[in-house]
Structure 1
């Protein structure tokens, strides 16, 4: 039996890479929740069934999008810097890619994968820690703590997690009244700072907190970090 539309995709030179690239563009424009294979087929001007020559289903395509975006992260290759600067450069590269694809990158953070790109990212993270001569077990603990910070910070910055500094004016006024009504001095002192937020400052602070804590645990000096943004 001939499936209608499959030959058309081949005649147009459709490949898995082109399908994934088009999916990235579509998700970056409309968001992952609005994405469908039908919309992608319209975008590519092919029949729906043409896509199945290259991806078996939507989940596989979304995995491909996540793998492609992760593979494009330009992790630093410079091994001459100290471990603290290597962690900063690694985090900056990951965050830069996330900001390039604010609607599509959450797929990288939420879809587990054992692809070559994922293993490369895993190794590059562990490689930043080699100067500390951690045991493999402790290295994995650090890896998981760092990953949790990166995922949480980036999801929050991209608008996919709660951020306390993102309230509108009316919400802020209500929050101020609610805090004042508690009479709690701890909450009252924090209130002005809860009402303001800057993603660059918060990311810098959280990353430096992690690096400083790791330096203290490893018994090595903390370099103080770069100037705050």
Structure 2
């Protein structure tokens, strides 16, 4: 009589997928997306992969190497996204071309809200960041920008060119709870009536704003359009 094979036996017989640097980094990104960047420790990463922590060191030297790697993974996703986006030719409409690519990059970062914090913490610039900005300059040049004005444009855009701004974009994805926001506004009302009035108006117009007081996507696109329009005026004026 042939012994009955159980599910556990079948799982035990299946070959384990070997670890690789790519597999480790993908697991690290998945862990950070689910539990936040502070959860990304070598022990937690090993548990995510179902392996011993020591086995990770064959593929990543330490946590800093993991952080370098997850930044690389996210930036790789950005490069794919901007390559695939539908946009006009830069020489036909540089503003629309650049805007579409910036918003495509932003979509990637919105899926990995911890990533700006990681990029900011790196001591060296990832080559993919340089490649991304090189493409931004290529768009500007195709649109008629001099190198001097393109240089100034990069300074004005800053991290916004990559799709996020540190002053509005919350890397941990958290917003201000409604109760906390209301209490804060009440405390500030006497000292800062204009700010409180502005925030109250914003809450009234957009009660579901993603940062508690405002819709960060709307504000991001509003500021981006102001910058692009201003740069176009400078370009057209030849300065």
1:152 and 1:38, CA in 2 relative to 1: closer, same or farther beyond 3 A?
A: same
Q: Encode CA deviations 1:28-64: one digit per residue, 9 max, x unaligned.
A: 1111112101111121122212111111111011101
Q: 1 CA distance for matches of 2:65 and 2:29? A: 13
Give the equivalent residue in structure 2 for 1:206: 223
Give the equivalent residue in structure 1 for 2:168: 156
Does the 8 Å CA contact 1:41/1:47 hold for their aligned counterparts? yes
1:55 and 1:177, CA in 2 relative to 1: closer, same or farther beyond 3 A?
A: closer
Give the equivalent residue in structure 1 for 2:5: none
Name whichever of 95-104 and 24-33 sits farther off: 95-104
Give the equivalent residue in structure 2 for 1:217: 234
1:70 and 1:213, CA in 2 relative to 1: closer, same or farther beyond 3 A?
A: same
Does the 8 Å CA contact 1:106/1:155 hold for their aligned counterparts? no
Q: Which runs of 5+ in 1 are unaligned?
A: 1-10, 221-229
Q: 2 CA distance for matches of 1:159 and 1:126? A: 26
Residue-pair matches, total: 206
Does the 8 Å CA contact 1:176/1:191 hold for their aligned counterparts? no
Q: Secondary structure at the match of 1:128?
A: helix
Q: 1 CA distance for matches of 2:134 and 2:174? A: 30
Q: 2 CA distance for matches of 1:159 and 1:52? A: 27
Q: How well do the aligned residues superpose, as a CA RMSD in angstroms? A: 3.0
Q: Does residue 197 of structure 2 align to residue 192 of structure 1?
A: no
Q: Does residue 32 of structure 2 align to residue 27 of structure 1?
A: yes
Q: 1 CA distance for matches of 2:174 and 2:44? A: 30
Q: 2 CA distance for matches of 1:197 and 1:138? A: 32
Give the equivalent residue in structure 1 for 2:111: 100
Give the equivalent residue in structure 2 for 1:226: none
1:173 and 1:27, CA in 2 relative to 1: closer, same or farther beyond 3 A?
A: closer
Q: Normalised by the size of structure 1, how large is the TM-score?
A: 0.75
Does the 8 Å CA contact 2:95/2:228 hold for their aligned counterparts? yes
Q: Which runs of 5+ in 2 are unaligned?
A: 1-15, 204-212
Q: 2 CA distance for matches of 1:69 and 1:20? A: 10
1:84 and 1:178, CA in 2 relative to 1: closer, same or farther beyond 3 A?
A: same
